Structure 1
Amino acid sequence: MARRVNKFTEEEILKVVKAYLVDGLSHRKIQSKILGLPAPDNGGGYVTMDILHHFNISGDKKGILAIEDINNLIENASGNYHDILIKIRAYFEEENEVESKIKRMNISHTNRTEITMETKQRIGQDKLREYILDIYMHKCALCDINKDDLLICSHIIPWRVDEQNRLNPQNAICLCANHDKLFDKGYFSLGENYEIKFGAKADATIVSILEGASFREPLENAPDKELLKIHFNTYCK
């Protein structure tokens, strides 16, 4: 069982545990939605079950964090269950901090050792994506695609390049997968009035794809025009 748990990242394991203890999702739904593994009606969900059992989480704990305080549970827990609750609490604290940072851009990450930096970064990416999709009303800023699994939180200055602006909502735009790829590869950017500005690589085909597209501004935190200038000068020329 431990070998099976070790196949997954810390972030995946915490999401599985959170989905069970907080959201009360079924083993099958967690396995399909979070782990991306097959979960047939007959015999599905055993991978999820093995992960939960590794942390001594059984059916009586399903949805328990929706009604019980996590600090009280930690006080009375032991073994692997105690350890995973400590990490889940750190996960909650990181989520809350990231949400505050996205909305106010004035809080720095604390040095929590319970969860790894990789997990913290993933929490930040996930929370930023949630926020960006919300302020763009779950629709691409340049077309009418409104399917969440086709929408990208597209960074103006890439995540890997500018650590300071990673969680800056004005450094992100909600784009469909097609427009995101064109933007990321420098085929176009946005100008002073959020008009389409074509990059040097944009040929007649690309121009025709984007012809007539107009930028739909978000409810708040419109893209930073200075960052857009950097994007155009760096990736589009």
Structure 2
Amino acid sequence: MKLCNFASLDPAMQGKGLKGASKADAEIISEFLLNSEQMILASEAAYNETLHTDRTTDISESTAKPFLYDFEKLEEAERVSQIKIRTVQHFFRKAVISSYHNKCSICSLNHTELLIASHIVPWSKKIESRADPANGISLCSLHDKAFDLGFIGIDSHYKILVSSSMQGKKIQTYDDMFLMFDNQQIHMPFRFSPNAEYLNWHHQNVFRK
């Protein structure tokens, strides 16, 4: 029921959910949209504390409390910084891949262990968006690598672009793995559609025209 309350306040859900959300629910959603990374860290730590186990970040019992309530102090330590990065990465992967029904958005491969939550704008280029699921797309290992290197791109209409450098090769593998998808629309997620601004950045800075 609480999740349905949150859904009614989440723009990505387009009005779905229950209409009985409280003021506190609205404040939480607002904070998540404005400061998603910090909220992810707090919620994941609270979740692990509730379960009396840590399945995602390797935070020992002795460090769980300061991690929850004193972020500024924790940021001084490299070890805790790495914990935070792993926590955000774990959340980002879950949010992105599940939104695509655990499939590659290009070839529909549905083997979860071979899927990657690929950043559209790299982690290092836009730190404030690194936890934003709309900056991610579910890709198999092959298409993730090709996307990162600019051999394939996705335009603002969600059409797949194959670089000219991949064309003209008389090898069937190129047709099967890349060229057959050229100008086809990706398999869209049920939420967290790729942000057009991020896609345009990738097209201008990474894609091999």
TM-score range, shorter chain: 0.5 to 0.7
- 2:140 is aligned to 176
Q: Is the 8 A contact 1:150 1:176 kept in 2?
A: yes
CA RMSD of aligned residues (A): 3.2
How far has the Cα of 1:153 moved from its partner? 0.5
Q: 2:84 aligns with which of 120, 144, 150?
A: 120
Taking structure 1 as reference, are residues 89 and 148 closer, same or farther at Cα in structure 2, changes over 3 Å only? farther
Superposed CA offset, 1:196-235 (max 9, x none) = 1223532334465221454011111100111111101111
Q: 1:209 aligns with which of 177, 185, 190?
A: 177
- 1:196 is aligned to 160
Q: Is the 8 A contact 2:108 2:187 kept in 1?
A: no
Name the TM-score, length of structure 2 as normaliser.
0.61
Map 1:63-142 → 2, pairs under 5 A = 84-89=60-65, 93=68, 110-113=71-74, 116-142=80-106
- 1:151 is aligned to 115
Q: Is the 8 A contact 2:100 2:138 kept in 1?
A: yes
How far has the Cα of 1:147 moved from its partner? 1.4
Query: Which segments of 5 or more consecutive residues in structure 1 lack a partner in the other structure?
Result: 1-16, 26-33, 35-82, 95-108
SS at match of 1:152: strand
Name the TM-score, length of structure 1 as normaliser.
0.55
Q: 1:228 aligns with which of 193, 199, 203?
A: 199
Give the letter aligned to residue 189 of structure 2.
P
Percent of residue pairs identical: 26
Give the letter aligned to residue 159 of structure 2.
E
For 1:90 and 1:214, locate their aligned partners in 2 and report how far apart those are by CA, in whole Å: 46
Give the letter aligned to residue 22 of structure 1.
T
Higher RCO (CA-CA < 8 Å; seq separation 6+): 2
Superposed CA offset, 1:115-134 (max 9, x none) = 51121011101111011111
**Count of matched residue pairs:** 150
For 2:193 and 2:115, locate their aligned partners in 1 and report how far apart those are by CA, in whole Å: 17
Q: Is the 8 A contact 1:188 1:232 kept in 2?
A: no
For 2:107 and 2:122, locate their aligned partners in 1 and report how far apart those are by CA, in whole Å: 22
For 1:154 and 1:228, locate their aligned partners in 2 and report how far apart those are by CA, in whole Å: 12
